[in-house]
Chain A
């Protein structure tokens, strides 16, 4: 196997298509497997690497390095979803890379929400292949990546009888986030003054803001927003942009769906249209 004498460069600058993950001596980090699984011994950036225990690794100057493939955050290949015999999504294929934002536009009833639920792993497609954060949609692998997905749907996910603060504290406890983050994110979305108001006594716009606050707190790797601007006033619109930017800046990806393409022009760097269940450029 061919090698060269540039091991230090590999530590500092990963070869194209790879990222260095947790360089630890003699320790198996929780790096993600290469996608798709490669041949056993290949040269990466001129350095001999081995595929062992589901990961590609290389030893450089006595240090064990795990290499992680920069695979897309989301890959859908000819996804079809039938409700009974009705094809709600007839054919959807797309790839969203790390750092990208995909905007999907379509009229009412075109299958946008259904497609978003497939992306959120909440709905299994009838046919087709899909990978979300490297997990195959058809396998129980999806359980492992759900925590890294953030979804904001038509209706905010809030318990009416709890205050906004209590709703977010519940999410913080479940997702192992600090309770102090709750007030921070409520301030961020302009709801610090309404933190102790019951969700049922909040307007739809305030509830949507609280939903955004939840996503600011959980910082998902894959952000899915369904009609994100609906019900929000003009002062809250920048919050959606801030959330999208924050997600893609830290290497995640975002998918926005809306019937109104103008709301996504500035946010999405890839635009697609969904009509009668068919997703196209």
Chain B
């Protein structure tokens, strides 16, 4: 199962490396959205610094889900059939696609993070905890997006439906990550928020694993 998941992830990342959709579509638009905000606010530097983390997490959520979404669009019927007939279990497929999306999402979020620090100059201690928060958020969002893509697969109005599904499901992640960073800035403990993020991820991992097979059967 692990080998199959690894191969699926490797395949998806290889396709992305060639298609460059994340690099040419999601990253420029995400950065543009982040740049537009301080420009719209003007020269109120303390306000820009204060809202920086919020702008970062919102942009990461809205543009990040596009990454997983774009990957699922490339997952055509014949390719799905092929993977099924090669004996790849739906669970391996879910984890493989989640892993590929998580790698892309985390890379996107790190790039976005550098841009946010340069643009907003937030008073943020750059500790390994920050990296851990980004990793956790990226993995969670990847799981939600993969699940949403599977749920809406084969539906005619899947694009808006997937967005409607992802945003509410990602709210606990958004709250957990934003509050963890806020606590980090204030110098207070972040353990409670990290535990919340981990708990949400465990729920998502169990849900994704259990739902993988019924969802694949439903698509057929």
- For B11, list chain A residues within 8 Å (CB): 159, 162, 170
Say yes or no: is B14 at the interface (Cβ < 8 Å to chain A). yes
Interface residues on B, range: 20 to 34
- For A198, list chain B residues within 8 Å (CB): 18
Say yes or no: is A149 at the interface (Cβ < 8 Å to chain B). yes
Say yes or no: is A266 at the interface (Cβ < 8 Å to chain B). no
Say yes or no: is B15 at the interface (Cβ < 8 Å to chain A). yes
- For A173, list chain B residues within 8 Å (CB): 7
Which chain B residues numbered 64 to 88 have a C-beta less than 8 Å away from chain A?
74, 76-79, 81-88
A156 and B76 alpha carbons, distance in the complex (Å): 11
A94 and B51 alpha carbons, distance in the complex (Å): 68
Say yes or no: is A174 at the interface (Cβ < 8 Å to chain B). yes
Query: What count of chain A residues pass the 8 Å CB interface test?
Result: 29
Q: Are B81 and A120 in contact (CB under 8 A)?
A: yes
Q: Are A166 and B84 in contact (CB under 8 A)?
A: no
Given the known interface contacts A146-B84, A166-B14, A174-B7, the answer about A153 and B89 at a Cβ–Cβ threshold of 8 Å is no
Q: Are A174 and B84 in contact (CB under 8 A)?
A: no
A158 and B15 alpha carbons, distance in the complex (Å): 11
Residues on A facing B (Cβ under 8 Å): 117, 120, 122-124, 143, 146-147, 149-151, 153, 155-162, 166, 170-171, 173-175, 198, 214, 218
Residues on B facing A (Cβ under 8 Å): 4, 7, 11, 14-15, 18-19, 74, 76-79, 81-89, 217, 220
6 sample A-B contacts, Cβ–Cβ < 8 Å, listed by A number: A123-B220, A159-B15, A160-B74, A162-B15, A174-B86, A214-B82
Supplied contacts A124-B217, A161-B19, A218-B86, 18 more A-B pairs, CB within 8 Å = A120-B81, A122-B85, A143-B89, A146-B86, A147-B85, A151-B82, A151-B85, A153-B78, A155-B78, A156-B78, A157-B78, A158-B79, A159-B74, A161-B15, A166-B14, A173-B7, A174-B83, A175-B86
